[in-house]
Amino acid sequence: MAKAPVLTPQSEDFPRWYQDLINKAELADNGPVRGTMVIRPYGYGLWERMQQEMDARIKDAGAQNAYFPLFIPQSYLTREAEHVEGFAPELAVVTHGGGKELEEPVVVRPTSETIINDYFSKWIQSYRDLPLLINQWANVVRWEMRPRVFLRTTEFLWQEGHTAHATYEDARDYAAYIHKEVYADFMVNVLGIDVVLGRKTPRERFAGAINTLTLEGMMGDGKALQMGTSHELGTNFSKAFNTTYLSKDGRQELAWQTSWGTSTRMVGGLIMSHGDDNGLRVPPRLAAVQVVVMAIKGDEAVAKVREIGDRLKAAGLRVQVDDRIDTPFGRRAVDWELKGVPVRIEIGPRDLEAGTAMLARRIPGGKEPVRLDALAELLPAVLEEGQAQLLLESRERRESRTTEVRTIDEAAEAAVAGGWARIPWSTLGQEGEARLAEQAVSVRCLVAEDGSVPEADDAPGTVAIVARAY
């Protein structure tokens, strides 16, 4: 009788495979309140690495980290009409505290444009205070009707950047810089996901923004996932909160603003972009554990894996030693395969006699014997090969499953079949976008014919990327 697979095969039931992997790889669990999640240590390790890589890029862009309160007076949200209308269905509102009804209800942070603007209006006095570039690592709450771990949860972790500038051009350019040089650089070169950079349609734009830039990734089942966004807010929030500055000419001017964010949704994107029927595959540049050194059995092997682990750590690799020889080797190997550690170094008594180890690659797979004294020199190149392989697979999947179409019906068919469609925006338009929405198909972003980000919704040659989405 054939042994049952550890995970539901992707081809059989992709959503079930996703949930199986989260459970079996010990990434997360459902929280006690519907829509919340508990992120387990291995899953949180992935998020910590994402934080580290993103935080460095954000600071290189000139932003500084700060923290603002979780509770926001409800009246703050009502100051910007489009903003409150956009978030109203998702708000969690506290009406009682300390055993009595509050004088004014407070909203549990869904995003921080309003409260940060309240302080920007105090901190900004003149043009010398600009640009003001702030980032916050925090949690937010948006009451989710259809929760899914990492992808859509009532509470999730994220970073949110908020900036104020003297001119429209400066704000526009900064939002574009974050979009490309921070977010895209991280997602392509660390996550190994070949995202498409584009502009959101007015229908999909962030509530209160004049323009939203997005990064869309194709998942293993052909659906799209919005991986991050960068918004031009214009002066909408500045008007609502009187965020003004004294210009060089001595005039009071409204500040031009941006906001931008990525979240733990990226962990879900990582799983669905790179996972296979054997488990997760973690890009080596991201991996909290790049190499696991495993003792198969025997006290001598245990001593040797500890020695090799120290040697590889000294060489700059992120290493974990697995010397649990009281647990069957096969079970441990399957666990590390599920967790997607890029490389396993397996050492047993026979390997010690030969002065070799078995090198098992998670990406692209396979095993080969290598000399113990060559590991430190060999592994960096092996890890970079795995990193490049994941990005190549991501790009090839997107290109092979994207169809050029000319009609709205063809666009819907391509999306329903499990891929993306490219259709001229002049052909689709907002009326066609509304028709697609009736079939649970959305315009993920607008791009120029050459793949760049168009400067305006109606720029000549603008193409709509159409897909079903998470």
Taking only the tens place, the pLDDT of each residue in 138-181 is 999 999 889 999 999 999 999 999 999 999 999 999 999 999 99
Annotate 178-217 with b (16+ C-beta within 10 A) or e (fewer): bbeebbbebbbebbbbbbbbbbbbeebbbbbbbbbbbbbb
Pairwise CA distance, residues 206 & 259, whole Å: 10
Six token digits for residue 311:
């040697």
Q: Please give the radius of gyration of the chain, using alpha carbons only, rounded to the nearest integer.
A: 25
The DSSP H or E segment spanning 42 is helix 41-60
Enter the tokens of residue 369. Answer: 């014997």
Residue 71 C-alpha from the chain's centroid: 25
pTM of the model: 0.95
Per-residue pLDDT of the chain (470 residues; tens, 9 = 90+): 556 789 999 999 999 999 999 999 999 999 999 999 999 999 999 999 999 999 999 999 999 999 999 999 999 988 876 766 777 888 999 999 999 999 999 999 999 999 999 999 999 999 999 999 999 999 999 998 899 999 999 999 999 999 999 999 999 999 999 999 999 999 999 999 999 999 999 999 998 899 999 999 999 999 999 999 999 999 999 999 999 999 999 999 999 999 999 999 999 999 999 999 999 999 999 999 999 999 999 889 899 999 999 999 999 999 999 999 999 999 999 999 999 999 999 999 999 999 999 999 999 999 999 999 999 999 999 999 999 999 999 999 999 999 999 999 999 999 999 999 999 999 999 999 999 999 999 999 999 999 999 999 989 999 999 999 99
Helix and strand numbers, DSSP H then E, in the chain: 15, 23
Are the beta carbons of 112 and 68 closer than 8 angstroms?
yes
Gap between the Cα atoms of 170 and 164, Å rounded: 9
